[in-house]
């Protein structure tokens, strides 16, 4: 299997896993509500797990959304520009997006490493190693940077139509 196909499978797999985490969150909330309303003790870790799952789902699904053209694009201004200016502005926005996302990924990677070395934990109703949270951010921002870089290299500059690839 080629590297592009493996990468594409990774992006799709993360999106599916992120979507499945919403299923988990829904069931966890329903179970907690049922337990509370039947006089039982709710599962103590539910809130913390849902908070972690929200972060994971966001970072897992965002690269796929960028690939599908599902990211936010404001076209009310750019639609009035001539095509050459619209394309140039689109390239500037993509380059800026790649740079910012790469910077955020790099910083989150540094924090992941620091948290790993220090052995710190995020303690709520459960304890999760702190590095896990920053690793979600590092991976998500890094993959989003790659997806926007792909759009830039392929010349898929957003011009009002969806970038379905």
Token digits for 37?
A: 């309303």
Q: Which of 71, 57, 80, 56 is nearest to 150 (CA)?
A: 71
Q: What is the pLDDT of residue 156?
A: 72
* Segment (H or E) for 127: strand 127-129
Residue 147 is part of which domain span?
Answer: 3-154
Q: Taking a C-beta distance cutoff of 8 angstroms, is the pair 59, 105 a contact? A: no
Query: Looking at the domain assignment, is residue 136 inside a domain?
Result: yes
The ranges of the chain with pLDDT < 50 are: 159-165
Query: Looking at the domain assignment, is residue 98 inside a domain?
Result: yes
Q: What is the pLDDT of residue 157?
A: 67
Query: Looking at the domain assignment, is residue 77 inside a domain?
Result: yes
Q: What is the pLDDT of residue 101?
A: 98
Token digits for 66?
A: 């960028």
Query: Looking at the domain assignment, is residue 161 inside a domain?
Result: no
| Residues pairing with 123 in the sheet | 127
Q: Please state the domain count of the chain.
A: 1
Q: What is the pLDDT of residue 159?
A: 45
Query: Looking at the domain assignment, is residue 80 inside a domain?
Result: yes
The dihedral formed by the CA atoms of 31, 34, 40 and 46, expressed in degrees to the nearest 10: 30
Query: Looking at the domain assignment, is residue 165 inside a domain?
Result: no
46: Cα separation from own chain's centroid: 22
Q: What is the pLDDT of residue 76?
A: 73
The dihedral formed by the CA atoms of 122, 126, 129 and 130, expressed in degrees to the nearest 10: -20
Query: Looking at the domain assignment, is residue 160 inside a domain?
Result: no
Query: Looking at the domain assignment, is residue 117 inside a domain?
Result: yes
Q: Which DSSP string do the residues of 75-131 spell out, in sequence order?
A: -TTGGGS-HHHHHHHHHHHHHHHHHHHHHHHHHHHHHHHHHHHHT-EEESSSEEEHH
């Amino acid at each position: 299997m080629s590297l592009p196909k493996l990468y594409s499978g990774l992006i799709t797999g993360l999106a599916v896993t992120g979507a499945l985490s919403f299923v988990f969150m829904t069931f966890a909330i329903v179970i907690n509500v049922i337990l509370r309303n039947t006089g039982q003790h709710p599962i103590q870790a539910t809130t913390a797990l849902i908070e972690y799952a929200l972060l994971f789902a966001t970072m897992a699904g965002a690269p796929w959304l960028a690939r599908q053209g599902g990211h936010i694009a404001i076209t009310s201004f750019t639609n009035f520009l001539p095509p050459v200016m619209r394309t140039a502005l689109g390239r500037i926005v993509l380059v800026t997006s790649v740079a910012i996302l790469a910077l955020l990924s790099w910083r989150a990677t540094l924090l992941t490493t620091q948290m790993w070395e220090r052995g710190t934990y995020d303690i709520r109703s459960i304890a999760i190693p702190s590095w896990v949270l920053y690793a979600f951010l590092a991976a998500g921002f890094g993959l989003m940077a790659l997806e926007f870089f792909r759009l830039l290299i392929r010349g898929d500059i957003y011009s009002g139509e969806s970038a379905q690839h």
